[in-house]
Amino acid sequence: MKIFAVQMKVEPGKPEINFETMAAAIARGKAAGAELVVFPEFALTGSMVGDLWAEQSFVDTAVAFGEKVAALADGIDILFGNVIQDESGCVVNKAFFAKDGSLASDFRSENLIVRLSSMSFVSGRAALLKVDLQAMAENEKKSILYVNAVGTQNTGKFIYAIEGGSLALNKDGTVIFAMPKFEAAEALLELTAEGWKVLSTTATDSATSSADTEISEIRKALVFMLRENAKRMGIKRVVIGASGGIDSAVSAALYVEALGKENVFLINMPTRFNSDTTKNAARDLADNLGTPYMVAPISEMLNAVCNSLGKCKFVRNGTSMKVEGINYENLQARTRSASVLATIASVVGGGITCNGNKSEAIVGYCTLYGDTCGIMAALGDLWKTQVYALARDFNKDREIIPQASIDIPASAELSEAMNVDEGKGDPILYPYHDRLFAYWIEENHSLEESIQLLKSGAENFCTTLGADFAYFKQTFATEEAAIADMKQWHRRYRGIALAKRIQMPPILMVSGHPFGRGLGEAQL
């Protein structure tokens, strides 16, 4: 049997566009001599279309286009994913088999299992899926064709990459063919008594390789989501605040891959707190990437706001408008993002980015309407330690992320207490706190469970978390100090940080546990 497998790019909520894509692929399959053409799950609608599922007209349109697809089954059978409404009015996801111009009974084969999918990228999940499919092939003693969609979809708060990576496996579990991730592809396959034969494919040789590391796959997923969603939003240019730190550097490198160096504008906005080290790193980043670059000092703007407010007084309240301490730190962050970057973006015709990572957002180490602003949070589902891993991935062939950005302490540089040249930086101790926060978020453990685990022994505690025991002992002199630290961060995690997280831009999801997904960030 000759089968034309189509890993198509699905446009969510656009049955008319997806139908045209399917019709063209069906014609190519017929021309290639295929007996069956196979499309992914939700091929006409996409899986994440929100309230559209509640619109009767949308469901009716999807069903009607499904019948139009079936009508194309003339000289070739068609297997595709679409929806149907059951007797109770619920919308049901279903695989449809079309033959001789109409929908037939379900597809059946004595020696083949076909799985249609619309699976999104989650780091490490494809490897688990492969194991499951191999076990299924061996247990059922049948060959398997797994066809996944490609594209990006979102739920409003999260942006997902529908990853592709379709597979053909022989009945012994051997993977004979793999389609690329994050791009549309087609293949003409023949299933014989001996197994699969690949007759032709649009996939490149390198695209079928499984040599990507976990972090390089994450990088590909992020770039794909940035490119596709910027296009969907109509945004061709982005403006990034280049501080010289690791987050803005990695964000800039990702956007350059997604949009091109000429469309990424890097702005360094120094004050007296910014070191020559970070200012030079920001310049070097722009030189390495070849992007437009500008230095825009903001001290005069800050002084103007402080002086102006200092002359103002409340009626019926004696609070002095003296902007200092944490208020002055937040003023810097808000001036950079909400004022300077947003204005520059307006001038050049683009959007601004949110460079915040998961570690900071979890505990609210960010400024609302400051560094939380942006069109998308490219690093929002990455722990800080993963951001450093991404930087190393970018630098594996040549230096793109300046070494200074990697070597200096992570720091917001908003006061003398954050002087990187003196080794001062963020209060989050990322090698340890990333693992502690992950214990709460990814493994759904409470503060009380964390404390009890520590009381069972510090070494066991670190082993369970995946944290370095020597680093932990060096950081905390006593068990009581570690518990006090836990309580402080957990209070922020369940408190003020929530108000910040729910107002952050859409997050590019690469893990199974982005913040907010479990509880929906309910304001308990």
CB environment 152-164: b (16+ within 10 A), e (fewer): bbbeebbbbbbbb
Note the pTM of the prediction, 2 decimals.
0.94
Given a contact cutoff of 8 angstroms between Cβ atoms, the answer to whether 144 and 2 are in contact is no
Q: Which residues are within 8 A (CB) of 442 and not within 5 positions of it... i.e. 6 or more apart?
A: 511, 512, 513
Contacts of residue 174, Cβ cutoff 8 Å, sequence gap at least 6: 195
* CA torsion through residues 279, 285, 287, 291, sign: negative
Q: Indicate the SS3 state at residue 391.
A: helix
In 10 A of CB 343, how many CB atoms?
A: 13
In order of 51, 237, 378, 403, the CA distances from 254 in angstroms are 31, 13, 8, 17
Q: Are residues 367 and 510 in contact, defined by beta-carbon separation less than 8 angstroms?
A: no
The first and second tokens of residue 293, run together, are 């670059």
Task: Give the Cα separation of 362 and 493 in Å (integer).
Answer: 6
The predicted-structure confidence for 484-498, as pLDDT tens digits, reads as follows 999 999 999 999 898
pLDDT score recorded for residue 157: 85
What are the pLDDT digits (tens) for 195-209?
A: 999 999 998 654 444
Contact residues for 348 (Cβ-Cβ < 8 A; gap 6+): 237, 239, 265
> Does residue 516 surpass a pLDDT of 70?
no
Pick from 419, 440, 427, 417: nearest CA to 365: 427
- Tokens 């899926």 belong to which residue? 129
Q: Note whether 249 and 357 are within 8 A (CB).
A: no
DSSP state of 410: P
Q: Give the span between the Cα atoms of 47 and 5, in whole angstroms.
A: 20
* Phi, psi values for residue 211, rounded to 5°: -85, -5
CB 403 within 8 A of CB 389: no
CA 293/CA 150 separation, integer angstroms: 34
In the prediction, which pLDDT does 211 show?
58
pLDDT digits (tens, 9 = 90+) for 235-284: 999 999 999 999 999 999 999 999 999 999 999 999 999 999 999 999 99
Q: Find the Cα–Cα–Cα–Cα dihedral 394, 516, 372, 324, rounded to 10°.
A: -120
The predicted model gives 32-44 an average pLDDT of 98
Looking at residue 203, its pLDDT comes to 82
Parallel/antiparallel/unpaired status of strands 185-192 and 2-7: antiparallel
| Cα 372 off chain centre by | 16
pLDDT of residue 519: 44
Per-residue pLDDT tens digits for 120-178: 999 999 999 999 999 999 999 999 999 999 999 988 889 999 999 999 999 999 999 99
Banded model confidence at residue 89, pLDDT cuts 50, 70, 90: confident
Q: What is the CA radius of gyration of the chain?
A: 26
For the record, the structure tokens of 327 come out as 């208020």
Q: Which helix (H) or strand (E) holds 214?
A: helix 214-233
List the Cα angle 236/238/243 in 5-degree steps.
Answer: 165
Q: How confident is the model at residue 517 (pLDDT cuts 50, 70, 90)?
A: low
Q: How far is CA 211 from CA 208, 215, 216, in A?
A: 9, 12, 10
Residue labelled with tokens 């009890």: 452
116 contacts 40 by C-beta, under 8 angstroms: yes
Indicate whether 523 pLDDT > 90.
no
The answer to whether 5 and 168 have CB atoms below 8 angstroms apart is yes
pLDDT score, position 380? 96
Please give the backbone phi and psi of residue 204, each rounded to the nearest 5 degrees, phi first: -80, 160
Element (H, E) at 199: strand 195-201
**Average pLDDT of the chain?**
94
Q: Write down the pLDDT at residue 437.
A: 97
- How far is residue 269's CA from residue 242's CA, in Å, rounded to a whole number? 8
Exposure pattern of 191-229 as b/e (b: 16+ CB <10 Å)?
beeebbeeeebbbeeebbeeeeeebebbbbbbbbbbbbb
Task: Find where tokens 């997806």 sit.
Answer: 18
- What pLDDT, in 10s, does the model give residues 367-397? 999 999 999 999 999 999 999 999 999 999 9
pLDDT for position 522:
42
pLDDT exceeds cutoff 70 at 409: yes
Least confidently predicted of 111-120, 196-205, 281-290, 478-487: 196-205
pLDDT surpasses 50 at 518? no
Q: How far, in Å, CA of 399 to CA of 384, rounded? A: 20
Q: What percent of the chain has pLDDT over 90?
A: 91
Q: End-to-end CA distance of the chain: give it in Å, rounded.
A: 57
Q: Output the pLDDT for position 208.
A: 43
Whole-number Å distance between alpha carbons of 273 and 361: 23
Range 343-354 average pLDDT: 98
